Structure 1
Amino acid sequence: MSIFPEYFKVGERWLLPEESRMDCVAVPRGDWIDIVEFRRLKAGEPVFVGRTEDGSEGIYMHTEAFREEEDGGGDAFAFRSGRSRETAYSRDYDALYELLRHEREHGFVVWVLGPAVSFDYDSRNAMASLIDAGYVHALLAGNALGTHDLEGAMFGTALGQDIYTQEARQNGHYHHLDLINRARRHGSVEALIREAGLKDGILRAAQGKGIPIVLAGSIRDDGPLPGVFGDVYEAQDAMRSQLRRATTVIALATQLHTIASGNMTPSYTVRDGRVRPVYIYSIDISEFAVNKLRDRGTLSVTPIVTNAQDFLVHLKNNLGNLAAPAASVPSGPNGDIGRKTAVQGHGGDRP
């Protein structure tokens, strides 16, 4: 299977699977087509096979389904036709603002986040604000994003570095381990947030809104936090359970999770009997990272090469008046809250 809508001829009818994903096989189930992972295929089950995409073997791939009409005014030869750090992204941002305003009420927006989002005071608050404002319907990440976001709520640091000043705290390199141990003593992330009285952050915002959070583990995870999926197939199933509902996917500063999510997300979904596009965005400061997803088959992705923190603050500042959560930035491991003063700048109030 590919990311595109694929039609299969059964008798005299052409059938479109309502749920699809790459790296799977198409299995006929009477009058509908089931898309099955190879590991779930049972011996003896019939599978559609073919080497052509033009319908001649009963399989038609509709690659032009959502392509916008070109105005025809461009030259065959042109500079800067690719997507890179030199690309002008103003139009992409405006389109994304418009899309998210629509999707907040009419779609299902899945965010895929890397830990860099939690390393900065402004980006962490911006992400929490987007959650509180309803622009996030599911959150996929790894153990690191969850750990450092909670570390920020408890200690004001990420990997021991102050999330606002970027100064290394004394013995700060122990903070993420202290945080994980405390979370494990509480038994769950939810219990930690509630019983420790954590007041800000991405996971706190998601928990407050009842948003599904899927944290998939890796080979080198510290801890990990309770609730992190250590089994790769369980993690895939949990991620897929959210991605199959997606109408928009925004993957930010996490190459491997971006590729995994992109490859599980088709370019279309069926809503109320109508086929509509699924919008996929890949945001990273590395050109290699954003282009990697396209190289792995997700051809419908819109890449934006930018700093993750700047991207989130742009979204927060341009999606209307978002109610930013009250952010506490403890000055040390005892949880003392520093006095806040207003500072003019792109992030608003700062400690």
Structure 2
Amino acid sequence: MFQLPKYKAPNFDQEIFLSAPNAVVEKVVKDGVAPDNYHTTSMYPEYFKINGKWILANESRMDGVPVLVGEDKIQIKEFRNLHVGDQVVVGRTEDASEGIYLYANGFEKDNHKKDIFAFRTGRSRETAFTKDYENLYELLQHEKENGHIVWVLGPAVSFDHRSRESMASLIKNGYAHAVLAGNALATHDLEGGIFKTALGQDIYHQDSKPNGHYHHLDALNKARKSGSIEQLIEDENIKDGIVHACVKSNVPLVLAGSIRDDGPLPSVFANVYDAQDAMRNHARQATTLICLATQLHTIATGNMTPSYIMVDGEIRPVFIYAVDVSEFVLNKLQDRGTLEVTTIVANIQDFLGKLKDNLVK
């Protein structure tokens, strides 16, 4: 039976914390510009000593700026959201010596002694992932009713009949509370709903259709003619797919544009910062984040998702999974700072098929 790991706060009665000075704050004098020596946050819990009391930032994100609000609240802001008068915490140490303490070991873990030398301690295509899958099944069953599951999907999810149908089924059965993607995922999924192809290739038989290279453009053109994705689904009588499942299940679908986009679809965020704000709205609520076959979108979402979240006054971990057939992509995610992530090297069709078969009865 799945159980959330318990959070154990630091012992602030220790001398290192009692003798630490209050954190220093300096006011912003120009919108969007932090004071010199500003502090920036990671994905881990960070405490700040304010008026003699250690305060946890309830929400955090990678590369944010801690701002003192009122007498005892720390808000994490992006640089572009700083305003004149904001009181920014300054200091570059994280060991309490400047009233700032980063705490990376708050959740209970298996602390049994391990050998200094051992084989296959990394994560690769040779890793045994059976236990990871079993853990994920239990986690998602718990999160369906008790959490906020956010998916980050690359276009490969819509290229295959099995993965497309499996993802749609997971959405319809309550295993998604938000989906983050780009124009391509939604375009090819809608193309599948209209033409049964993705980039002109049949999503089941894999044979290329005559003039199939027009299909994604036709889908885009039809969507823009309809004026919205919702209206396109009605106009074209689309009955299946990931986008259809999101619309019919009232699951938010955030589509971020890129420099490569055709069209794009009517609901795609063309402004990158508007897209970031919309994604952040769901990342800040996430209790489980699952990223599939999209390198840059995964890194972006991982960097805006903390390793913890405050729910009903309790601190709980945020579980992050990244799945890709390429080890390079998964290693790059960890290199970019998303350290609290379980990586699974797998074909997306197989991964989603296993989840659907084990979760949807």
The reply to whether TM is greater than 0.5 is yes
Is residue 2:98 matched to residue 1:61?
no
Quote the offset at 1:202 in angstroms.
Answer: 0.3
Q: Is the Cα–Cα contact under 8 Å of residues 65 and 88 in structure 2 kept in the other structure?
A: yes
| Matched position secondary structure for 2:90 | coil
* Residue 148 (structure 1) aligns with: 188
* Residue 161 (structure 1) aligns with: 201
TM-score, normalised relative to structure 2: 0.87
CA distance, structure 2, for counterparts of residue 51 and residue 118 of structure 1: 44
Which of residues 128, 141, 162 is equivalent to 1:122? 162
Amino acid at match of 1:177: L
Amino acid at match of 2:119: F
| Matched position secondary structure for 1:148 | helix
1:23-34 alignment runs, 5 A limit: 23-30=63-70, 31-34=72-75
* Residue 289 (structure 1) aligns with: 329
Render the CA deviation track for 1:19-74: whole Å, top value 9, x for unaligned: 111111000002211101001112342211222211111111111112513221x3
Q: Percent identity?
A: 63
Which of residues 112, 115, 133 is equivalent to 1:71? 112
CA distance, structure 1, for counterparts of residue 271 and residue 133 of structure 2: 36
Amino acid at match of 1:61: L
CA distance, structure 2, for counterparts of residue 20 and residue 209 of structure 1: 29
| Matched position secondary structure for 2:89 | coil
CA distance, structure 2, for counterparts of residue 75 and residue 10 of structure 1: 42
Is residue 2:281 matched to residue 1:251?
no
CA distance, structure 1, for counterparts of residue 360 and residue 193 of structure 2: 25
Is residue 2:78 matched to residue 1:37?
yes
Quote the offset at 1:106 in angstroms.
Answer: 0.2
Larger displacement relative to structure 2 (97-106 or 18-27): 18-27
Is residue 2:237 matched to residue 1:197?
yes
Which of residues 302, 306, 312 is equivalent to 1:272? 312
Larger displacement relative to structure 2 (45-54 or 74-83): 45-54
CA distance, structure 2, for counterparts of residue 203 and residue 61 of structure 1: 40
| Matched position secondary structure for 1:315 | helix
Which of residues 90, 93, 97 is equivalent to 2:137? 97
CA distance, structure 2, for counterparts of residue 40 and residue 181 of structure 1: 36
CA distance, structure 2, for counterparts of residue 50 and residue 304 of structure 1: 37
* Residue 128 (structure 2) aligns with: 88
* Residue 333 (structure 1) aligns with: none
Render the CA deviation track for 1:278-325: whole Å, top value 9, x for unaligned: 00001000101011111111110111111111100010011140xxxx
Is residue 2:264 matched to residue 1:224?
yes
CA distance, structure 2, for counterparts of residue 163 and residue 288 of structure 1: 26
| Matched position secondary structure for 2:204 | coil
Stretches of structure 2 that go unaligned for 5 or more consecutive residues are 1-40
**Off by >4 Å, runs of 4+ in structure 1:** none
| Matched position secondary structure for 2:88 | coil
CA distance, structure 2, for counterparts of residue 225 and residue 319 of structure 1: 31
Amino acid at match of 2:267: G
* Residue 88 (structure 2) aligns with: 47
Amino acid at match of 1:60: Y
* Residue 172 (structure 1) aligns with: 212
CA distance, structure 1, for counterparts of residue 235 and residue 226 of structure 2: 8
